[in-house]
Amino acid sequence: MSNLDRIITYIFPTSILDGSPWLKAWEEKERTEFVSFAKVFFPIGAVLYIAHYYFFDLPTGLEPKNHWFLFRASMTGLCLATAGFYLTPFAKIRYYRAPVVITGLICCYFQARVCVWYPEAPWLYCFVFIIMITFVLQTSPLKSMMFATAAIGLQWMSLIEAGVEKPAIISAFFVTTIMLLTTRSAYISNIKFFDLTQQNTDTQRKNIEMNIEFTDRLKSFIPEQIASRLEDKLSNGRTTVLQAIDEVLRPKKQHIACLFSDIRGYTQGSKNLDDYIGELVLPNIKACTHAVEDHGGIPRKIGDLVFAYFDDPNQTRNVLNSLLSGFEMSELNSDQNAGTEFGEVRRYILISIGEAIVGNVGGFDSSVEITALGSPVNFLARVDELTKNEIISRQLENGDVIVCQETYSLLVSLGLELDSKAISLHRSGLKIRDFSEQNMLYSLRPNEHNKSTISTYYRALENQQVDNIRGKAA
């Protein structure tokens, strides 16, 4: 900033806000603070004038009493009238400081007259009044100096009449000027601080808007469960979008349930893009994805394959959610096949449990990949291969939910009696590639009994957790 700019800023402080959208906000803030202060200051001034009459004028024996009473009462009325002005809608006029300027000049003039009426009165009080009124006005150094000059001009003759030497008056004027210029420099600082505050607030607002927009755009590319977790992280206001993304998607080891469902005969059917793919497969995949997300799963679609993992800290809830998703997918699949003329979607729903790495296993560029890596995922891929074997396929029906030994054992431990079919790989002379130790699979039909049994237990589990939370709160 050049010296000329500094001078202009000092003379016209609000020029700092010229061209900014905050000038009107500053003016409104200044008006509100000024009016609030005036409503308090002038009633106090009225009380002091009356008190001065009863506690100084009368005990001192100033004469004539009527003169002093009229003077104090008039000044009291003037102060009250000024305060009253700011209680009316007129306080919103453009020149809202005018009543204080007029009242201040009158007070300063009559304080000088007091020096004539009562020679023992300290004449320096005249300059104290000037400083007090400029403090009330809360305006720029230039306007404060203009008020002080006008006030001293009104006081000059009275002070000369009271016997005050001209050099003393001039000296007091310069001291008052220095004090005003020093103290009113804070006015410029206040405007600068306001400007910086508004800039910071505006920057924060824009950042929030960008975060919201970015988050909204991001939601369309990520699973609902991930989007919900991002919103939870961002709701506390202590993390940025990128920090929240990093925390939510950071790969971590966790016990999960996995769901795997591939369409049988997809390669041959995919030759018919319009009917089979457009009218049958795409709606099917979309519906299956919704079924997974409705039960808290995190889906990943690869061609006709629907894969999902469930990573709630409670592994029982993961298993129940994956089963409910599988049953719903099977029912959707059956309903769609019954109402289409473009062929049939055949799929099994495979479920396993175990420990895996979940999250974004890629980077934060085009390689972003939210998925699960580990033994339960690989196991399902191998079981899917096995279901293509004729010996196994003869034991299955379209839409069956096939679970691993660990999943079935967990269901048994919960006391759930489900309609199921045990598939012994050892008796069939088959093995699961890379998982030869696994000899049993279990097929669950998505019938009403199984769905009702799982749903009832799930609701009981949720209610128990609610009761536990309430118990802790109590």
Where exactly are the structural domains of the chain?
Answer: 3-183, 251-473
Helix (H) or strand (E) holding 144: helix 141-161
Nearest to 210 by CA among 179, 175, 234: 234
* Integer angstrom CA distances of residue 168 from 124, 148, 159, 206, 209: 10, 16, 10, 57, 62
Q: CA-CA distance, 241 to 236, in Å (whole number)? A: 12
CA angle 377, 383, 388 (to 5 degrees): 140
User: Which residue in the block uniquely carries the two structure tokens 């102060």?
Assistant: 79
Residue 64: cis peptide before it, omega within 30 degrees of 0: yes
CATH code for the structural domain at 251-473: 3.30.70.1230
CA 379 centroid distance within chain: 43
User: Rounded to two decimals, what is the model's pTM?
Assistant: 0.57
Tokens of 139: 């305006």
* Residue 371 DSSP SS3: strand
Distance CA 442, CA 400 (A): 10
Among 150, 151, 158, which Cα is nearest to 123's?
Answer: 158
- Per-residue pLDDT in tens (0 to 9) along the chain, 474 residues: 566 666 666 666 777 777 778 888 888 888 999 999 999 999 999 999 999 999 999 999 999 999 999 999 999 999 999 999 999 999 989 899 999 999 999 999 999 999 999 999 999 999 999 999 998 988 888 888 899 999 999 999 999 999 999 999 999 999 988 888 887 777 778 888 888 888 888 887 777 677 667 666 666 567 888 888 888 887 776 777 778 888 888 899 999 999 999 887 665 555 566 667 777 788 888 889 999 999 999 998 777 789 999 999 999 999 999 999 999 999 998 888 887 766 678 889 999 999 999 988 876 655 567 889 999 999 999 999 998 888 988 899 888 999 999 999 999 999 999 999 999 998 888 999 999 889 999 999 999 999 999 999 999 988 876 455 444 444
Q: Which residue, 192, 197, 227, is CA-closest to 212?
A: 227
